[in-house]
Structure 1
Amino acid sequence: MSESARVPSRPHGAEGTVRQVLVVEDHPLFREGLAAVIDLDETFSVVAQAGSGENALTEADRTTPDLVVMDLGLPGLSGIETSRRLLRAHPDIKIVIMTMSESDDDLLAAVRAGARGYLLKGAPREEVLHALHTVGQGGAVFGHHVAERLCGLFAALGSAPASKAFPTLTAREREILDLLAGGLSYRQIAQRLFVVDKTVRNHVGSIFAKLQVHDRAAAIVRARDAGLGSTAE
């Protein structure tokens, strides 16, 4: 099935509802294979596929799915930002992340973005379908190993300072992100840290990559959500 193709939907009902699914994944073979697996379950109907975040938003508006299976590493708009925008436009949609990423930052970002499930690619068919059934019925599923990490992360966040909210960032990157979240410009940060502007911009590029954001505004939102930005004054 090609990107954006639509499969005829099965009828909806109250109990035994056939839940409509949007699959968002930039690798066509994996996307089509995943869609085929989901469609074999008679309680689901894959109504659309998308290979980018932008296309996912368009397809969600067109098909109004019940469930979205979302990759994180999308070209252009990230899976995290796509999830946020989807839920703003369609609050009833339930999102399950399926990704190669084992990053703690990605896991926390997905939860904060509103994901109801987080599975690693390579999960067996039964686990994928179980997650979709559970999330479709209002539950949440994070897989055995992911759930253990999530519990550990929230426990750590409860006792750690906000500056440790992004464990993959270096100390300098966290410092710069904190200053960004506090409203300082690149030049002001450079002056504060006694470095040249280019050094700050290089660090910011690394921060964007690790947080999977594409601009300063998105990075600031992530940082402030984590409690950063209070030490810039």
Structure 2
Amino acid sequence: MNHIGIVSNNLNNIQRTARMLQKKVKNSSFFVHHPRQLQQNNLNRYDLLITSSTYIDDVLQQTDHSTKIAVCISEAAENQVERLLQINLDGYLTPNMKKQELIHAINMMLQGGVYVHPVFSTTLLQSYRTYVEIKIERPLHLLTKKEWVVLEHIANGSNNQVIAKKMGISSSTVKNHISSIFKKFGVNNRTDAVLKAVKNNWIII
């Protein structure tokens, strides 16, 4: 049995949607939570969590890497699409998805796939083109592969818990990577580490 949580402040509409999904998605139970209830619930008990861009950071902070997470991006949050795509979530949904689209997306995510609604394809393509057109030159052996990934997440504004979630490692391991980056860069804080990397064209933000 799959347990699926939906975090939303629009409880009436979402509860109706949850009841519909309960009938259509096999072997799955749906639970709706108001954002104020987040800290009162163990979110790690869910196989899949669906929330809006408003609450995605709170959800990420309270879950570990075993929970699949999808974000529903409204038109008002379109300026966040590129940032959200970089988080490497399990699903990118829209509020106006048709019933069959939503059912298909949920089944795909539960089976280990990543669902990206076609409306975000242009942004995804533009981000890819920007990435390949900018030549990143990194000195050999300065940082390990994982340290570069941690640094990129820091540059995108992620805290240690979110980085741990994205990379599937513990928060203490993230701290060790960050300490190593500071030592190798000769800096004392995140801002200086990111500035040094950007100035030397080692990362793009």
For the criterion TM > 0.5, the same-fold answer is yes
| Deviation for aligned residue 1:91 | 1.5
Amino acid at match of 1:58: Q
Q: Deviation string for 1:45-89 (max 9, x for gaps)? A: 11x32121x52353234x70111111122xxxx32x124214xx4
What residue is the counterpart of 2:41 in the other structure? Answer: 59
CA distance in 2, matches of 1:28, 1:69: 13
What residue is the counterpart of 1:36 in the other structure? Answer: 19
CA distance in 2, matches of 1:106, 1:41: 31
| Deviation for aligned residue 1:124 | 0.3
CA distance in 1, matches of 2:59, 2:84: 8
SS in 1 for 2:13: helix
Contact 1:67–1:96 (Cα < 8 Å) also in 2: yes
SS in 1 for 2:132: helix
The alpha-carbon distance between structure 1 residues 104 and 153, as it changes in their structure 2 partners (threshold 3 A), is farther
The alpha-carbon distance between structure 1 residues 160 and 34, as it changes in their structure 2 partners (threshold 3 A), is farther
- Cα RMSD of the aligned pairs, angstroms, is 3.5
CA distance in 1, matches of 2:77, 2:128: 14
- 4+ residue stretches of structure 1 with deviation over 6 A? none
| Deviation for aligned residue 1:107 | 2.2
| Deviation for aligned residue 1:102 | 6.5
Q: How does 1:1-233 map to 2 (within 5 A)?
A: 18-43=1-26, 44-46=28-30, 48-52=31-35, 55-61=37-43, 64-73=45-54, 78-79=55-56, 81-86=57-62, 89-101=63-75, 103=77, 105-160=79-134, 229-230=195-196
How many residue pairs match? The answer is 151
CA distance in 2, matches of 1:110, 1:83: 13
Amino acid at match of 2:130: A
SS in 2 for 1:229: helix
Contact 1:102–1:120 (Cα < 8 Å) also in 2: no
CA distance in 1, matches of 2:87, 2:39: 15
| Deviation for aligned residue 1:161 | 8.7
Indicate the larger mover: 27-36 or 151-160. Answer: 151-160
Indicate the larger mover: 124-133 or 95-104. Answer: 95-104
SS in 2 for 1:108: helix
SS in 2 for 1:20: strand
For structure 2, list consecutive stretches of 5 or more residues without a partner in the other structure. Answer: 137-153, 164-189, 200-205
CA distance in 1, matches of 2:17, 2:118: 21
The alpha-carbon distance between structure 1 residues 25 and 161, as it changes in their structure 2 partners (threshold 3 A), is farther
SS in 2 for 1:68: strand
What residue is the counterpart of 1:166 in the other structure? Answer: none
Say which structure is richer in helix: 2
The alpha-carbon distance between structure 1 residues 229 and 101, as it changes in their structure 2 partners (threshold 3 A), is farther
Amino acid at match of 1:67: L
TM-score, normalised via structure 2 length = 0.60
Contact 1:49–1:56 (Cα < 8 Å) also in 2: no
| Deviation for aligned residue 1:104 | 5.4
Amino acid at match of 2:38: A
